């Protein structure tokens, strides 16, 4: 299986993350991708290519131009205001403010585009996010050209980003950008299955009122897990998209036996939908040792469900999302891909 990877991800390295009343080293760190890369080289998964530049156009099919421009200039604007460290939101448009008039001040624009406060932006964040999206688009090229599957080793991740907000470590929604690009290049229907521990709120929101993308997510229940305000079972789509979103919220402590039952339900939905392409938002934070999550999957479980995904016999694009037990992230990620290849 082809992997697409850009070393420019290292340009995005936030310095700090607010966490439970203290400040910690960011969980979403450059070493994550290095562990995955090392493991797939160790097992000889296949070639590793650098992304081709598809430009801004496919990004702008999903994200607002004003938001993209904000990401491109936010660091310069932040430092021009005399600020330093990392871009950090400190004010949001209040939910009950009657006017919420747009302000040109950098603090206002940061708060306007920030979903939440844990995600720092540094000088190279835009460049890293841009090449992360390009990695997804380049892996998609391989699948559209006939590869059974390809792996976009994206960093930063993307599934929390809707069309004009960043947060949850995400800036550009790599999976959504690839899904939209596949449609723009002739696919009729795309299924996006999000197996990251966290609900893919950004992807859900982007496709919520559309029937050409079926979005499914298995995740920690909003009562207990970020992003808290989305991911309930009764969110099933609206308008033309009614019935084309499926959420499987699961409680703390969920073991693979239970998670797998939800996965089988999601796979049945995908079979019925008969998409031309399957995009997997591949997060490995369902792992029993993940420091910020609470499912109980083991390394062997990743091999197993990789095989179940292959059982759909669909062209499949894997897009890297989360996973924070850094030292085991390579093994767990590559286990999914190897489990897939064993059955494919």
Q: Where does this chain bind Zn ion (CB under 5 A)?
A: 196-198, 283, 285, 322
Chain centre distance of CA 178: 11
Pick 113 or 198: Cβ nearer Zn ion: 198
Q: Which residue is nearest to Zn ion (CB)?
A: 322
What is the residue whose two structure tokens read 């939910």?
95
- DSSP letter for 212, please: S
Shortest spacing between CB 147 and Zn ion, in angstroms: 26
Enumerate binding residues for ligand OKP (CB under 6 A). Answer: 118, 157, 160, 168-169, 196, 198, 226, 283, 285, 321-322
Shortest spacing between CB 256 and ligand OKP, in angstroms: 19
Give yes or no: 160 in active site.
yes
Shortest spacing between CB 126 and ligand OKP, in angstroms: 19
Cis peptide, bond prior to residue 106, ω within 30 of zero:
no
Pick 113 or 198: Cβ nearer ligand OKP: 198
Shortest spacing between CB 157 and Zn ion, in angstroms: 7
Phi, psi of 174 (to 5 degrees): -55, -45
Structure tokens at 247: 């959420």
Phi, psi of 23 (to 5 degrees): -120, 130
Tally of CB atoms within 10 A around 248: 21
- The active-site residue out of 160, 198, 199, 219 is 160
Pick 22 or 96: Cβ nearer ligand OKP: 22
List helix spans (H) across 29-124.
Answer: 31-43, 57-60, 65-80, 106-113
- HSE-CB of 220 using CA atoms within 13 angstroms: 24
> Residue 259 binds which one of Zn ion, ligand OKP, none, with CB within 5 to 8 A depending on kind?
none
Q: Which residue is nearest to ligand OKP (CB)?
A: 322
User: Could you give the residue numbers annotated as active site?
Assistant: 160
């Amino acid at each position: 299986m082809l992997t697409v990877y850009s070393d420019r991800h290292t340009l995005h390295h936030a310095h700090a993350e607010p966490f439970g009343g203290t400040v910690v080293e960011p969980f979403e760190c450059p070493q994550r991708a290095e562990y995955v890369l090392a493991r797939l080289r160790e097992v000889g998964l296949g070639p590793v290519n650098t992304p081709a530049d598809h430009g801004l156009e496919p990004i702008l099919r999903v994200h607002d131009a004003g938001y993209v421009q904000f990401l491109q200039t936010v660091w310069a604007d932040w430092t021009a205001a005399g600020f330093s460290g990392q871009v950090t939101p400190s004010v949001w448009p209040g939910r009950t403010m009657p006017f919420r008039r747009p302000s040109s001040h950098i603090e206002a624009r940061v708060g306007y585009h920030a979903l939440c406060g844990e995600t720092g932006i540094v000088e190279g964040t835009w460049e890293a996010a841009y090449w992360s999206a390009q990695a997804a688009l380049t892996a998609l090229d391989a699948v559209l050209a006939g590869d059974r599957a390809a792996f976009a080793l994206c960093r930063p991740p993307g599934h929390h980003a809707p069309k004009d907000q960043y947060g949850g470590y995400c800036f550009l929604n790599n999976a959504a950008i690839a899904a939209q690009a596949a449609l723009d290049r002739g696919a009729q229907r795309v299924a996006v299955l999000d197996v990251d521990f966290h609900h893919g709120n950004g992807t859900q929101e982007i496709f919520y009122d559309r029937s050409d993308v079926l979005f499914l997510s298995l995740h920690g229940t909003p009562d207990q897990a970020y992003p808290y305000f989305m991911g309930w079972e009764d969110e099933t789509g609206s308008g033309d998209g009614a019935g084309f979103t499926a959420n499987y919220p699961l409680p703390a402590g969920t073991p693979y036996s239970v998670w797998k039952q939800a996965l089988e339900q999601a796979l049945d939905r995908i079979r019925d939908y008969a998409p031309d392409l399957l995009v997997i938002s591949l997060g490995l934070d369902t792992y029993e040792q993940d420091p910020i999550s609470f499912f109980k999957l083991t390394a062997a479980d990743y091999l197993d469900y990789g095989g179940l995904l292959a059982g759909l016999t669909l062209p499949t694009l894997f897009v890297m999302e989360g996973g924070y037990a850094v030292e085991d992230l390579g093994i767990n990620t590559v286990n999914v891909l190897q489990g897939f290849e064993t059955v494919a």
